[in-house]
Each structure stands twice: as structure tokens, then as C-alpha cells.
Amino acid sequence: MPIPISQSGDTSIIVSIIGTPGAGKSTWLAAAIQELSANIGPANGFDFQPVGELTRAHYRTNYYDPIFVRNEKIPPSDRKGIEEIHNPLVYSFTHQDTGESATFIFLDVAGEDLNDVEYMAHSLKYIHRSDVILHLIDLADIVNEEPRPIEIDVAGQAQSASTQITLNSMSASDILARIYELHTTHGVVAVGEKVSAPLGIIAAKLDRHVNTISKLDFSEVYSDKKIRENADLIKTFLFDSGVRGYLQSAKNRFDDSTCFGVSSLGHNPEIGTENIHPLGVTDPLVWALSRLNLLRGEE
């Protein structure tokens, strides 16, 4: 899976979206791109459009149509799911006032594939080059869990079968540890140093927690204050839910991490995808634009 090169000379920005099985990252990405292109971009003075027919068709076929046209769930994005889902989505960002522009390359990464050496060598070897990492988590996956060490050699392979975590048993904390190991293995950071790429921690399916989601600000216009206040609420919610080990792991391994709460459909997915009204899905991406100095929000 080669990374596309911007044809216009714009800055190319790699955004990796990673999650545990069933966390709903492909559904989130489908809703986030639709909202960013149709509503949030115009409200904040920028255009966000697909680059080329390949991305346009890929997004339409594998993301948009299943949810917004056929009212279906997107199949899992691991190797057992749709192979095309691993092809990157490429979008152009252009700010209407400043003229700032960039090419965004979205990698939809199944967390369990991070521990498959053969698959990593061919398809997912660009994660350590990510400019932004978005870790989508299902709250049920991370309550009261602690990260397990993963031993790897200089080639990035597990030292032995006894230390390799199986694809089906990887938790959110395991995935976070594996992401960090990829950065140290490829020399991006030394062991013990923090990764500079911003980490967005996205608590998915928050509609199941009405008392928390009702307190969040989902206004369309981006502001640093809104992001901070929402992040504090989500961090407190996660902490009170017993997710201390995961949050501490993120703090120890990344210079910059922020929490988000989203509902990709706007309601519990068990009732179907009708009457979709996504909540907070674009906040992680707009925050990433701010961290990359492509967008300024009101204080």
C-alpha cells in the first residue's frame, strides 16, 4: 500500500485511525468525513474534498453508501473484512482566508493487525510516520485493563511466541503499547522518549452514556475552549470509569494527547442507522488541523 504523494506540492499529512475490533472506527471515519466536507468545513472557512476518483469511489462504496444509503453496518476492517478498506483515503484541505493547504492521507488501521508481522511489512508500515494518531476505543474494551509488555527485536518482530499477543486478544492498552513500540523500533524516538505526533483518544459510542454526552458542546464552530472543556469532561468520565492505566500510558508515551467523546450515528447502533445525526465526530480532525497550525480556533 504505497503512500500517495501530493501532486500540488502541498504538505502531506498522514492520519492513522486505529482501534480495537468492533470499536466502530470505519463508521466514525465515514461520518467524520461527511460532516467535515458538508457542514464543519464551511462553518469554519475551509474546503475539505476528496483527491481523485480513486478516493471518491473508495469512500462512496466502502464508507458512505453502507451507512447513509443502505442503512448497513460497515464490515470489520481487519484482514477478514473488506481488503479495499486498507487503501488510504486522500483529501485536500484549503483554508479560504489564509490560503493554507495540505493533503490528508487517512489510514484505517485494524488494531489486531498491528501484531501481525507479515501484514505489517506489506500494508501498515507507515504508522510510525503518522503526523496524527487517532485511537478510537470502545469503553467496554478498556475498563480496568492494564497494558502488557510486547517484546520485539530490531526488525520489529515478536521475540517469541510466548510474548506475542494474539490478534484476538489485543486490548486498547496493548494497541497503544504496540504503536509506541513501532516508533522506537523505527528510530522515531528512543526508548523512554515521548512520541511528538499528537494522540487523539476518541471514546466511541458515547450515546450509551447519556449523562456524559449531554454535557458536551457539539457546536459547529471550532474553539480551543470547547475542545479543552470537552476533553476535561471525557477525561474525568474515563478516569471515574476505572481507565487510569490507559490514560497514564498515553501520558507517558505521547507529548500531546487529548480526549474526545463521539457518537458516529447519534444513537445506539443496535437500533439501526436510520435518522443518523453524528455527534462530535469532526472534533478530533479539527483539533488535528489546529495542532498542525492549519486552523486557529477562538479562545
Compute φ and ψ for 174, nearest 5 degrees: -60, -45
What is residue 151's predicted lDDT score, i.e. its pLDDT?
38
pTM: 0.83
pLDDT digits (tens, 9 = 90+) for 245-291: 889 999 999 999 999 999 888 765 554 556 788 899 999 999 999 98
> Could you tell me where the DSSP H helices lie in 186-282?
210-213, 224-240, 244-253
Q: Which long-range contacts (CB under 8 A, 24 or more apart) does 32-36 make?
A: 32/264, 32/278, 32/281, 32/282, 32/284, 32/285, 33/59, 33/63, 33/89, 33/91, 33/106, 34/64, 34/68, 34/278, 35/278, 35/281, 35/282, 36/282, 36/285, 36/286
Give residues with Cβ within 8 angstroms of 24, minimum separation 6.
136, 138, 204, 205, 264, 269
Domains and CATH numbers, the chain: 11-291 (3.40.50.300)
Phi first, then psi, for residue 119 (nearest 5°) are -70, -40
Return the top range by mean pLDDT from 38-42, 113-117, 218-222, 280-284. 280-284
Q: In whole angstroms, give the CA distance from residue 88 to residue 157.
A: 24
> For residue 119, what pLDDT band results from cuts at 50, 70 and 90?
low
- pLDDT tens column, 155-214: 333 333 333 333 345 677 888 888 898 899 888 999 999 999 999 999 988 888 878 888
